[in-house]
Amino acid sequence: MNPHLPHATHIAVRDGHILGVGTAENIDGWQKAWGPLALNRDFADKTLLPGFIEGHSHMMEGMFWDYHYVGYYDREGPDGTVWPGLKSIDEVVDKLKEIQANRKDKDMPLIAWGFDPIFFTDRRMNAADLDSVATDCSVIVLHASLHILNANNFVMEAADVKGADNSEFIRRDESGQATGEFLGQLGYYMAMRTTGINLLAIASSPETLVNFANVARQTGVTTATDLVNPMPAGSENAMRQAVDADDFPMRLVVAFQGNSMEPAEGVARMQELQTSNSDKLRFSLVKMVADGSIQGFSARLKWPHYFNGAPNGLWYIEPERLGDYLKAFTEAGIQVHVHTNGDECTEVTLDKIEEALRAHPWPDHRHTLQHCQMATRAHFKRMKALGVGVNLFSNHLYYWGDAHINITMGPERAARLDDAGGALAEGVPLAIHSDAPVTALAPLFTAWCAVNRLSSSGITLGNGTQNISVEEALYAITMGAAYSLKMESEIGSLEAGKRADIAILADDPIEVGAEKLKDIIVIGTMVGGQVHINQGRSA
């Protein structure tokens, strides 16, 4: 992935960096200056790629492993334990019954996660399902999307769920009865208030961070982002301690939550955080959130809005204030990544970036739009002109593609969802992401989504012009993401002088091809010269 040397047979590593790449002969010469290099043939029959970079994930991915996984696919925990996938609602309920029967403290809240209703089209999970697990303690099942959770009647009674006109977050059946499904933040708030478990505190703990790194590592990731963190005063110390530990198997880029304080204070806090940067931990950018999500009907869309007639979504910040923040950070030379989902939000955000750049010109600001799922070619042209990059939420194509065709966007607009092909055609720097834990963290899967554009029911979104090639997708999950983080001179490709961050794969993605890209087995990674082999895989 280094343009002057796309393929090589040998790589030499010293002091955490790449000393040389090429043939055995090319490498030999280094021994004059650097002393003998021992030849390691452990990975001779494997494919080495630059370590993958997840440009939009959240460390919260690591928090759930203390609870019970009930997702559809087998999943490997940070300790290498494989949690088998559960293939029906009944299987999920049976698994929970088994857990309840076998655990000691039967009165304690029972929390499960990773449940994905997308795979169960016959019916939805309800309160009665979870009442069959237990009626005298809280039973809560968090969905994989993190937008929804299911609760049993014990929880609903403890919360004293009341009010009739709150369909935005309590799903009700035709008779007005709450079904046990709760949407959005309020579901989580209810879960925390009734169980007394503060998921927010757990989400930012060092243990969670370590779990996150171990889960990411297994998918070939050598650098990941925690793409929005309020970083309360002093929190960088614990973070630094965790990430700088020798056995922490990853680099971490943390995006400071821009509007957790006023613009001027935010600039000062960001400058303070940057003094804590190390080889493995970076505070280099600010994240702003401008609207909600498409599947939650909270993204801001241009006319004619939602396909099913739902009212337009929500601004998460006043456009005027977004402009104030962009101006302050641009003036201070701090890169900003803005979450925009709907096309109206993308357009307004570009207006605000343009205003900031007219006030404080900055040739290589590299402000980046995150998700940016409904951008049109016109938006990409503007982004190119303004020097704005994009990191598209390609996993959405698979997870919510069907919903976007049928409910949120309609077939015509769903065709341009996460238009990676369009972005590249217009010359916009491109990365693609999972937004883990919202969808599964696995860059090869994300690449597969962008290459094939298949929904979970097997429908292709678009007419082919939105697809990208395997090579382009691999670039997006390495150099593309590195560029979006302004780290392209350090990581993202294998070349002399860069950090020795490598993904070790069982097969060559180019040979395997588009269709099976997501199925390639990841053997392990190298981070700064240190090898991490996945459980059950051998060198």
Partner 1 sequence: MTHIDIVPLTIISGFLGSGKTSLLNHLLTQSAGRRITAMVNDFGALNIDAELIAAKHGNQITLANGCVCCSIGDDLMRSFMEVMQQSPLPDHIIIEASGVAEPSRIAGFASVDRQLRLDGIVTLVDAGAHNVHSNDPYLADNYAKQIEAAHLLLISKPDLADAATLENLQNELAAQKPNVPIAQMTHGMLPIDLVLGLNAAEEIRQPHDVIEHGFMQWATHLPPQPRATLIAKLENLRPHVLRAKAVLQDDEGAYVLHLAGGRISTEPHEGVASGHFVLIGKPQMPDATALEKIFRQNEAA
Residues that bind partner 1 (CB under 8 A): 158-163, 165-166, 168-170, 182, 185-190, 192-193, 198, 200, 230, 232-233, 257, 259-262, 289, 300, 311-312, 314-321, 344, 348
185 binds, among partner 1, Zn ion, none (CB under 5 to 8 A by kind): partner 1
Interatomic CA distance for residues 110 and 126, integer angstroms = 16
> With CB cut-offs between 5 and 8 Å by kind, which of Zn ion, partner 1, none does residue 344 bind?
partner 1
Q: For partner 1, which is the closer residue by CB, 201 or 539?
A: 201
If contact means CB under 5 to 8 A according to the sort of partner, which of partner 1, Zn ion, none does residue 271 touch?
none
Q: How remote is the C-alpha of 29 from its chain's centroid?
A: 41
The total of other beta-carbon atoms located within 10 Å of residue 172's CB is 13
Give 30 or 188: the residue with its C-beta nearer to partner 1: 188
Binding site for Zn ion (CB under 5 A): 435
Burial class (CB in 10 A: 0-12, 13-18, 19+), 240: middle
Q: In terms of CB distance, is 111 or 503 closer to partner 1?
A: 111
Assigned token pair, 430: 């491109």
| Residue whose CB is less far from partner 1, 165 or 364 | 165
Decide whether 168 or 511 has the Cβ nearer to partner 1. 168
CB of 261 to partner 1, least distance (A): 7
Tell me which H or E stretch contains 199: helix 199-203
Phi, psi of 49 (to 5 degrees): -125, 160
| Rounded Cα gap, residues 449 and 135, in angstroms | 41
Which CB, 350 or 442, lies closer to partner 1? 350
Smallest separation, CB 438 to Zn ion (Å):
6
Best CA proximity match to 353, nearest among 371, 334, 330, 374:
330
Residue-level length of the chain: 539
- Euclidean distance between CA atoms 479 and 51, whole angstroms: 10
Cβ neighbours for 278, distance < 8 A, ≥ 6 positions apart: 240, 243, 244
Please report how close the Cβ of residue 273 comes to partner 1 at its closest, in angstroms. Answer: 16
Helices (H), 275-342: 319-331
Q: How do strand 17-22 and strand 522-527 relate by DSSP bridges?
A: unpaired
Of 382, 378, 470, 400, give the one whose Cα is nearest residue 432: 470
The listed partner (partner 1, Zn ion, none) that binds 260, CB under 5 to 8 Å by sort, is partner 1
State the binding partner of 361 from Zn ion, partner 1, none, CB within 5 to 8 A by kind.
Answer: none
Q: Residue 435: name its binding partner from partner 1, Zn ion, none (Cβ under 5 to 8 Å by kind).
A: Zn ion
Hey, what are 212's tokens? 């996150």
Shortest spacing between CB 289 and Zn ion, in angstroms: 8
Give me the least distance between CB of 529 and Zn ion, in Å please. Answer: 31
CB of 193 to partner 1, least distance (A): 5
Give me the least distance between CB of 197 and Zn ion, in Å please. Answer: 22
Is 344 or 435 the residue whose CB approaches Zn ion more closely? 435
